Structure 1
Amino acid sequence: MPDNEWPDPRLPFPEPTPSRGRTSLAAAVVVLVLLAAGGLAWRLMSNRAGAPVAEASAPPPASPQQSTRPCPDPRLRVAAAPEIAPVIQQAAAGLNQAGQRCSEVAVQAVEPGAVLTAKPQPDVWVPSSSAWLAVARAQGRNWATAGPPLAWSPLVIAGPEAIGRLFAPGDKTSWAALARDAADDRVPAVRMPDPLLTTTGLLSVYAVHQAIARVTPDAGIATLQALTLRSRLENANADTTDVLAQLTRATDDTAASYEVGVFPATEQQLTAYQKAGNRVRLVGAPPADGVVDADYPYAVRKGAPAELSKRLRAAITSAALTGAGFRAAATDGALTLPADPEALLGPARQWSGYRSVAFQVLLMIDGSGSMNEKITDRSGRSVTKATLLRESGATAAQLFGEDTSLGMWYFGTSGANGPAHVEEVSFGPLNSSAEGKKRRQQLAAKIGSYRPVAKAGTPLYQTVLDGVQEMRGRVKPDTATVVVVLTDGSDGGTRFAMSNPDFMKRLQAGADPARPVPVIAVGFGPGANLPALQSMAKVTGGRAIAATNPADLASGIAQAFVAAHARS
């Protein structure tokens, strides 16, 4: 590689060398930096679908004598988000004097997450969101900004025109609708960029969580619904520039539409694609339930050549930016991003660390007579525990995904020789048939018709032991296997009664670390033996929940599902 050429734009800035005779890079260097909080690797990306960004200027032809002279290191190194890098490259080229062969400014297209890991750091950084500057500050790197950002561009939900009616009816989009459509398979595919590397990914994840939280009061359920979209992604590390490049090469509108599907992009990227007159036309709009802006701050590192960096900023004109499809002002009504970068990075890490697992659930419901007793829920209603359970169960049933296998038992004996529990829904895939109905429908019908048995005892401990043993035999790789037990009281009143120490001894004796079966124990009302439920949950790696509201059960199951999907 000639000495005056910029290296592969996928790489961080090279270390400057003291001599002019620099050796070529023999191989691409990939820097993997583990995040202290998340333990996740950040990869580097380049502007593969955008304009090339090697030298910042196109030097005039050099004489044979001139071409033998190596160029000195650039005085100013600039890292810019890929979509704005060509505009900055053009401005940098205008700083060259007539006949000047070597540029003082080198511009490189780098995704913001990659700049955080680069060594040395660039002199000037133009990320696609000011949020990255806050992330850098939290890591001990400070960048000085003067004045407002260079430009703005709201995120849009985009996709081929052929499937626009599916995700953008009436040319309107929303994050919540996209999540619902993905969960119900009403869109062919959804792609999302890496939220720990790209602004489009980072802000999309934040906006999805915010949009769903506004219409879902329970935080646990809201998180699960947001992760439902994550679980349905065709590609969770899709580079938007790659997606657009794929569409530019497409020759079949319909095939390309269903292969690519729906994806977030900046308005600028969508506008630039449409102006190019590509065969496959796109539609897209900022989501009505969460407009979020990418902004482009001009940030300078301490010690950078001050005069040259000022000249470069002055050379980046509003006309050039708006001509490239950027906005000159922030979008009205756009979400205000949190000042604490962790509020953005937390959900992003959760998405990046998500792993797809199937669920196997055994739902065990207390059918003893005490479930007919009345309690007051959090809203002040006077309801029976059975009513609360029916409402809770119906809500929880909707949370189980299509990749869930499920069975349901009732426990509670009304006679001296009665069994500890009876099977109400046979175990099997939720989307398969049982007794002539889809198992999900059968589950909902059984819970809806639930009626406790008067004067029935509560064989709680025996039922838990049997349920854990049953599900332990079903444990398999990449599958979360859990037992959910719903009860209002304590073990007793049956021939299966045992002391808590005896129960815990038997539960621990049957534990198998290679085949874990967590117990999610839900106690209804003030009479539930929460200490016992907490003990059985703790020893199995599950959790105990006190339920005085229909949302409590669903929230607890949602949190358990989120934990099961987290990478260990």
Structure 2
Amino acid sequence: MSRTQGAPSRRPTGSTRAARRRERQRSSRRVKLVAGVIPVVFVAAGLSIVVATGGVGAALNTAALTCLEPTRVRVSTTEDFLPVLRKVATRVQADTNNAISCTTYDISAVPPAVAVSQIAGDGDERPDAWVPDSSVWVQRVNAQLGGDAPPRPVTVAQSPLVIAVPQERAARYAGARVPSWEDLLGGSAPVRWSNPADSTTAMMALTTARKALGSSPAMQEDVGGAMIRLSRTAADSTDELFSEASANKAAAPMFPASEQQVVQYDLQHADALLVPVVPTPSTGRLDYPFVTLATQQDAVGKAVRSLRNALTSEAGHRAVRAAGFRTMEGTGGPTPTPGVPSPAVRLLPDPSLKEVDAALSTWTTVSKEMRMIAVIDVSGSMTARSDGASRISIAQGATDTALRIFPPRSQVGLWAFATDKDGPGKDWKELVPPGELSAPSTTGTQRDALLRANAGIDALVGGDTGLYDTVLAAYQRVKEGYDPTRVNSVVILTDGQNDDPSGLTLDQLLAKLNELSDPAQPIPVITVGMGPSADASVLEKISRATGGRSYIARRPSDIKTVFVEALLQRSCRPSC
């Protein structure tokens, strides 16, 4: 909205915005009666069209109903739920329209994210009622509107999340072999995702998987690794995956979908059927809340309430079930055999907006390609043993795990460090320069070269901990080849404190890092301390100076989890 130059910018209050919306809605719905022209409402194929009598009116006269006071109600919903709303709205019009007053329900499919912007904004596109495909979207609107949030919605339908499996392969995942969310994320039941940023189904499936697996560090490590893999093969949309199923039939990948989406797909693709498999032990759902946005006590508000009441009536439930949805009581859904009810589905509690945003944040983080140097401490203290293994062997195991889960286009290099490791005064030694993991090397790929170098890193153990000089050198190396299309970072794994009296002091290192840092080219240094000798305070200062984060693994058994977590969280600093 343009403002007079020099005038102070003032954001309208919630009550002011609401008053403006009501006035615009009233203005947009006024119909001027011109002499000789009478508005006519047509109801045809579930759509209402307001036109003037004349040529068009004569052509559609059999469906015409004339009224003096037409009311237009704008309703937004999803593509999946659009047919249900149109069917129910047509019945409401047939029952309530008369020669004096009649309602036109203008129902359209609007992506939920777009609808959120329309509802939270101050424009003319705000609908009078809204039925998204998840209550999470309502939570997002409420978070933006605050005290101006709409009344509590009424959920009018639901559909459990399932895995769509080509019929030819469905027997592999039946009975005791029904996959769990852990199987699906872990790869034992291969599945392809769609982008959760653009698909409510994928967004809720991702959140459901995280919720089902629990919040233990080991489980979240598995989830993070799975997200890295899934993000590299993700489809742009769930529609794309259904198109693949139609084209590739038995060879098509399994993928998360709603039960209703599978039901509707199967009605049109008898030659490439999909079977909805409900993951064990429980699953999430898409729910369809009816949100009343026209709260005024006028014809529009009355028409919105009439539509809501019709959806929650028995006739409305029949329309919901006929479209493949389940009612809030759980009735409906597919019936594999005539007369046999749909199997019971155990549902997880609906996620909060915070849980959904956490899942999306992790996906966004790991789906961006990286450019990183991993720097491993090989000082003499790394031979210390605990729980039957040396620190260096534990570090090697953690690095091996990380290198194997990184996607092919990641650029990774490997250094080792201890005092004078590559000659007098040079505490770091480059074992493998940064390169794309899938790129060919002299014997295999870059990933192969990294794995081999890591496997032999224990032969380099010896010397003291030359930490500060190494941190600066690694930071400078990443900065020299900074790639703005990637997450650029340094990951340091160490078990001790700086022991190089001839090198930089901590203050000198922090001053250098501050001098080199550029907000336009962030390079977080992520530090991982292992064992009781690691100086947590120093590592925290180094990481904080670069927008990174410091992790401490107090027990050797924690090192693998902590190191992989650090790598997975590499790009969200300093905002997370």
Same fold (TM over 0.5): yes
1:374-393 correspondence to structure 2 within 5 Å: 374=385, 381=387, 384-393=390-399
Return structure 1 stretches of 4+ with deviation > 6 angstroms: 56-61, 64-71, 165-171
Inter-partner Cα distance in structure 2 for 1:561 and 1:22: 61
1:88 and 2:88 matched: no
1:560 and 2:567 matched: no
Checking the alignment, whether the CA contact within 8 Å between 1:176 and 1:208 is kept in structure 2 is: yes
1:276: which partner in 2?
268
Structure-2 change in CA distance of 1:172 and 1:109 (3 Å): farther
Checking the alignment, whether the CA contact within 8 Å between 1:519 and 1:537 is kept in structure 2 is: yes
1:336 Cα deviation (Å)? 0.8
Which segment is superposed worse, 105-114 or 359-368? Answer: 105-114
SS of corresponding position for 2:25: coil
Inter-partner Cα distance in structure 1 for 2:95 and 2:425: 96
Structure-2 change in CA distance of 1:21 and 1:266 (3 Å): farther
Checking the alignment, whether the CA contact within 8 Å between 1:365 and 1:487 is kept in structure 2 is: yes
Checking the alignment, whether the CA contact within 8 Å between 1:208 and 1:226 is kept in structure 2 is: no
Q: Which residue type is aligned with residue 93 of structure 1?
A: T
1:291 and 2:299 matched: no
1:470-509 correspondence to structure 2 within 5 Å: 470-493=477-500, 496-509=502-515
1:126 Cα deviation (Å)? 3.6
Inter-partner Cα distance in structure 2 for 1:131 and 1:511: 38
1:20 Cα deviation (Å)? 0.9
1:127 and 2:132 matched: yes
1:321: which partner in 2?
320
| 1:413-471 Cα distance to aligned partner (Å, 9 max, x none) | 47984852333334432234545244434433443444376761232222223222322
1:235-246 correspondence to structure 2 within 5 Å: 235=236, 238=237, 240=239
Checking the alignment, whether the CA contact within 8 Å between 1:179 and 1:228 is kept in structure 2 is: no
- Out of 398, 401, 419, the residue aligned to residue 404 of structure 2 is 398
2:341: which partner in 1?
none
**Identity of matched residues, %:** 22
Structure-2 change in CA distance of 1:65 and 1:20 (3 Å): farther
Structure-2 change in CA distance of 1:169 and 1:86 (3 Å): same
Give the unaligned 5+ runs of structure 2. Answer: 1-20, 35-43, 331-343
Give the unaligned 5+ runs of structure 1. Answer: 1-11, 24-50, 376-380
| 1:115-169 Cα distance to aligned partner (Å, 9 max, x none) | 43245755544433344444444434233456xx43332122336658x579968
1:142: which partner in 2?
150
1:40-439 correspondence to structure 2 within 5 Å: 54-55=47-48, 63=58, 72-74=69-71, 77-95=74-92, 96=94, 103-106=102-105, 108-110=107-109, 111-116=111-116, 117-118=118-119, 122-138=127-143, 139=145, 140-144=148-152, 149-158=155-164, 172=178, 175-181=181-187, 190-192=193-195, 194=197, 199-213=200-214, 217=218, 219=220, 222-223=223-224, 225-226=226-227, 228-235=229-236, 238=237, 240=239, 253-254=247-248, 263-277=255-269, 279-288=271-280, 290-301=282-293, 302-303=295-296, 304-305=301-302, 308-309=306-307, 312-313=310-311, 314=313, 316-328=315-327, 329-330=329-330, 332-338=345-351, 340-348=352-360, 351=363, 357-374=368-385, 381=387, 384-413=390-419, 417=424, 419-434=426-441, 436-439=443-446
1:478 Cα deviation (Å)? 0.3
1:305 Cα deviation (Å)? 1.3
Which segment is superposed worse, 328-337 or 64-73? Answer: 64-73
1:521 and 2:527 matched: yes
Checking the alignment, whether the CA contact within 8 Å between 1:80 and 1:109 is kept in structure 2 is: yes
Per the normalisation by structure 2, the TM-score is 0.71
1:106 Cα deviation (Å)? 0.7
Per the normalisation by structure 1, the TM-score is 0.72
Checking the alignment, whether the CA contact within 8 Å between 2:186 and 2:222 is kept in structure 1 is: no
Which segment is superposed worse, 276-285 or 360-369? Answer: 276-285
Checking the alignment, whether the CA contact within 8 Å between 1:88 and 1:316 is kept in structure 2 is: no
Give the structure with the higher percent helix: 2
Structure-2 change in CA distance of 1:305 and 1:395 (3 Å): same
Aligned residues: 503
1:337 Cα deviation (Å)? 0.9
Inter-partner Cα distance in structure 2 for 1:348 and 1:204: 11
Inter-partner Cα distance in structure 2 for 1:193 and 1:502: 44
Which segment is superposed worse, 169-178 or 396-405? Answer: 169-178
Checking the alignment, whether the CA contact within 8 Å between 2:229 and 2:405 is kept in structure 1 is: no
Checking the alignment, whether the CA contact within 8 Å between 2:74 and 2:106 is kept in structure 1 is: yes
